[in-house]
Amino acid sequence: MTHRLSRRTERLTSSLIRDILQITQQPGVISFAGGLPAEELMPDLDFDACAADSRQYGPSEGEPRLRALIAQGLSGLGLRCQADQVLVTTGSQQGIDLVGKLFIDEGTPVLLESPTYLAALQCFRVYGAAFHGLPLQVEGIDPDALKAAIVRHRPAFVYLIPSFQNPSGCCYTDAARRAVAAVLDETGTPLVEDDPYRDLVYSPCDRTPVCAYLERAPWVYLGSFSKITAPGLRVGYLASSPALFPWIVRLKQSSDLHTSRIGQAWLTHFIASDDFEKHLAHMNGVYAERRNTMQFALVRHFSGLAEWSAPAGGLFFWLRLVEDVDTLAALKVALTHDVAFMPGEPFFPVADQRYPALRLNFSHATPEKIEQGIGLLSEVLSQCCETAFVTG
């Protein structure tokens, strides 16, 4: 029987990450592929402290106490924001989806970093977005290139991940943040700022939200508890400029009524407790060590094969390969050696900006496995480079 499905479904792509994660869950595989926090660092989930009324339906906007705590945290970052501008979401991924529903019709132009978060590309693509990529440099995107692209394409919004970007690890300088905000204000272009990694920080760097520098342009700021507590809770949030907020709440209502009250109740309790800061400090200490282990292993095994810089925070190294290697083919070879990475190719919004690259996660594997896995991976990549050299 043939079903009559929407045209939208023709734009659905299978999630490469999910497909790879399936394989990498097999015992014995060292995986640098996903963006998984380490299970051993996740706080214990004790739901006894959650109020009994968590069982009943709740407000679409989220639990009032949690919204107030989030608004307080954002105000501390310089983002002028009241609790009534905060919406609790089912992961920040839902925030991305709501933004897609809010702004995108078939053919709507959207500007984003190149490369950028794969699942945002997938989501915006389903709504019919026409992508225009802004090449990412060490200090962030170039404000002049942003202005030129806005004038040329008139995008519905610009989607940016300025702190410890996925996949590149890039953290915008303060000057870049201010200059980007100035261009958005001047042109009145809405900013969607995705910031799930901001609290995973290992070396000092500026992380003031770009939204905090905006004076006039509309904005949506997306945050997440996934990377700093437990992603299985599926609790994230967004805050937005007042005019956009009622639209987003209505879209949320029609999507899932509200986010799980049990997860919200647990998080409200946890982030208001003294344990939260201790937990973050411990997590950052362990991840900093894993980042350093990966950096040393890369220097030993990948010098001459790739170029990279150690990220100041977040969960990923981004390696730009020196040779023109087919990274999807290299992944298949790597999996036969029980090691996995994420090929760079799908992170690029437009094909002509692509270059051969790998994304490597350093939070999930232990330091011993990182050492072992990077050694194995360099052998695979060296072989692939030799093949590229012979055939190319």
Ligand X SMILES: Cc1ncc(COP(=O)(O)O)c(C=O)c1O
Q: Give me the residues that bind ligand X (CB under 6 A), please.
A: 35, 91-93, 117, 161, 166, 194, 196, 224, 226, 231, 236
Q: Which is nearer to ligand X, 58 or 231 (CB)?
A: 231
In the bound complex, what is the minimum distance in angstroms from residue 35's beta carbon to ligand X? 4
At closest approach, how far in Å is the CB of 133 from ligand X? Answer: 16
Q: Which is nearer to ligand X, 268 or 378 (CB)?
A: 268
Question: Cβ closer to ligand X: 214 or 228?
Answer: 228
- Nearest distance from residue 280's CB to ligand X, in Å? 16
Closest distance of CB 196 from ligand X, Å: 5
Secondary structure (H, E, C), 271-295: HCCCHHHHHHHHHHHHHHHHHHHHH
Nearer Cβ to ligand X (117/302): 117
The burial of 130, by beta-carbon neighbours within 10 Å (0-12 exposed, 13-18 middle, 19 or more buried), is given as middle
Least CB distance from residue 233 to ligand X, whole Å? 9
Nearer to ligand X by Cβ, of 35 and 190: the residue is 35
At position 71, the amino acid (one-letter code) is: A
CB atoms within 10 A of CB 212: 18
* 98 in Cβ contact with 76 (< 8 Å): no
Pairing of strands 191-194, 219-224: parallel
DSSP-based three-state secondary structure for 392: coil
Peptide bond into 209 cis (omega under 30): no
Beta carbon nearer to ligand X, 93 or 293: 93
Least gap, CB of 166 to ligand X (angstroms): 4
Residue 9 in tokens: 């479904």
Q: How far is the CB of 105 from ligand X (least distance, A)?
A: 23
Structural contact between residues 283 and 313, judged by C-beta atoms closer than 8 angstroms: no
Minimum distance from residue 118 beta carbon to ligand X (Å): 8
Residue nearest to ligand X (CB): 91
Helix axis angle, 367-391 relative to 327-336, nearest 10°?
130
CA neighbor of 380 nearest in space, from 325, 312, 315, 316: 325
- Cβ at position 383, least distance to ligand X in Å: 30
Inter-axis angle of helices 118-126 and 91-103, to 10 degrees?
Answer: 40
- Nearest one of 91, 154, 90, 147 to 117, comparing CA atoms: 91
What residues contact 332, with CB distance under 8 A and at least 6 apart?
none
As measured in angstroms, the least distance from the Cβ of 227 to ligand X is: 7
Nearer to ligand X, 123 or 381 (CB): 123
Please report the DSSP string for 189-238 in residue order.
Answer: --EEEE-TTTT-BSS------GGGG-SSS-EEEEEESTTTS-GGG--EEE
Of 208 and 224, which CB lies nearer to ligand X in the complex structure? 224
The residue among 169 and 356 lying less far from ligand X, judged by its C-beta, is: 169
Q: Which two structure tokens, joined as six digits, stand for 66? A: 């949690």
- As a whole number of angstroms, the distance between CA 277 and CA 9 comes to 43
Q: Is 160 helix (H, G, I), strand (E, B) or coil?
A: strand
* 234 vs 301 by CB, closer to ligand X: 234
